Amino acid sequence: MGEEQGWWAGNIALDILGSTAVEDIPISRNEQSKLLINMTLANELGYKIPMDLLENAILWTDESSGELE
C-alpha cells in the first residue's frame, strides 16, 4: 500500500527536479489501495459494516497473523 505512494512521490520529485512546474502536476488517486476493516474493533464499538464494503475488504481481527495479502 505505501509502496504506491512512495513510488509516486519519487517520480514527482524527479519531475520537479527536471523543471516540471508544480502546477502542471495532475492530482492523482491511489490505484492499488486496499480496504482494511478491524472487525474486532468494529464489533466492540457496535458498528454495522455494509456488506458491499465487507465483500471488498481485508478483514482484520485480533487473531489475524499480521500478514496482509
**Each residue's pLDDT tens digit, 38-62:** 999 999 999 999 999 999 899 988 7
Q: Which helix (DSSP H) or strand (DSSP E) does residue 59 occupy? A: strand 57-60
The label of the residue with cell 492523482 reads 28
**Residue 65 above 80 pLDDT?**
no
Q: Is 38 inside a domain boundary? A: yes
What residue numbers bound the domain in which 42 lies?
A: 2-26+33-60
**Residue 28 above 80 pLDDT?**
yes
Q: Is 67 inside a domain boundary? A: no
In three-state secondary structure terms, 32 is coil
In three-state secondary structure terms, 64 is coil
Return the ∠ at Cα 48 (arms to 43 and 49), rounded to 5°.
Answer: 100
Number of domains in the chain: 1
Question: Three cell numbers at 51?
Answer: 456488506
Q: Is 69 inside a domain boundary? A: no
Question: Three cell numbers at 29?
Answer: 488517486
Q: Is 66 inside a domain boundary? A: no
